[in-house]
Amino acid sequence: MTIASWSTLLDATPAVVATVVAVTLGVASANKLADFGAFRTAIANYAVVPQTVAFPTAGAVVLSEVAITIALVTPPTRRTGLVLAAVLLVAFSTAIAVNLAVGQRDVGCGCFGGESNRALDLPALLRPLALGTASAVAVIVTQTVDARAPGAVDQVLSVVGVAAVVSGIAIARLRAFSQSGQKTKRIQRGGMNDWRLG
């Protein structure tokens, strides 16, 4: 690989990492907003903050995810978004690690909204930790990339990032609506069967 190729790859690294993290946080925040009450319960179950502040904490998490997502897909604020993403993701990892350390595995993860009832495990810990680490590495890379004017690759990746976030949120919500519709149909069928048996 030539020096020019390495330079292009280095330039693209922050944008690629930012896009992946933005899609993750964008989808997560959309799902949490769709069922905020369930997410508040998930925050309370983690028991890392007092029950009395579970609601504002849940709100702060969602607002942070939305703000960081926007920052990540905007070149002038990308580095700030990566810094904040690293902090937020490490905080998520810490909360999960604390619960795993005390054997509290039955807490619903809540990572992608209140309906994420999967028990805490090692993968649940490693996912945000890996994304947080990647964000931190991208911050270091941006120190050299930001010193140069944004290139065509950076601008294209910014457009791709926005499109990926919008598409990811749309797909996640459509899937949630589909699952909700299927659940409603099963309940209706169960009700009809009970009525016939009665």
**pLDDT recorded at residue 179:** 58
Q: What is the pTM of this model?
A: 0.76
- Residues ≥6 apart with Cβ < 8 Å to 40: 54, 55, 58, 114
| pLDDT value of residue 195 | 47
Rounded Cα distance between 60 and 78, Å, is 20
What pLDDT band is residue 180 in, cutting at 50, 70 and 90?
Answer: low
Write the pLDDT tens digit of every residue in 89-128: 999 999 999 989 888 887 777 777 655 567 788 888 899 9
Confidence at 6, pLDDT banded by 50, 70, 90 = very low
Cβ-based neighbour number of residue 102 at 10 Å? 9
What is the identity of the amino acid at 150?
A: P
- DSSP assigned state of 119: P
- In this predicted model, what pLDDT tens digit does every residue of 42-99 receive, in sequence order? 888 888 888 889 899 999 999 999 999 999 988 888 899 999 999 999 999 999 999 8
Assign 3-state DSSP to the chain and report helix, strand, coil percentages, each to 5.
80, 0, 20
User: How far, in whole angstroms, is CA 174 from its chain's centroid?
Assistant: 17
**E-only strand ranges, the chain:** none
Which range marks the domain in which residue 15 is found?
Answer: 3-197
Nearest 10 degrees: Cα torsion 14, 16, 20, 22: 60
Q: Is the pLDDT of residue 8 over 60?
A: no
Residue 59 CB-half CA count within 13 A: 4
Per-residue pLDDT, 47: 84
**Do 42 and 79 contact (CB within 8 A), yes or no?**
no
Structure token digits, residue 136: 């931190």
At 166, which amino acid appears? V
CA distances from 46 to 54, 100, 163, 172 (A): 10, 10, 33, 24
Angle between helix axes 78-101 and 54-72 (nearest 10 degrees) is 140
Instruction: Report the number of distinct structural domains present in the chain.
Output: 1
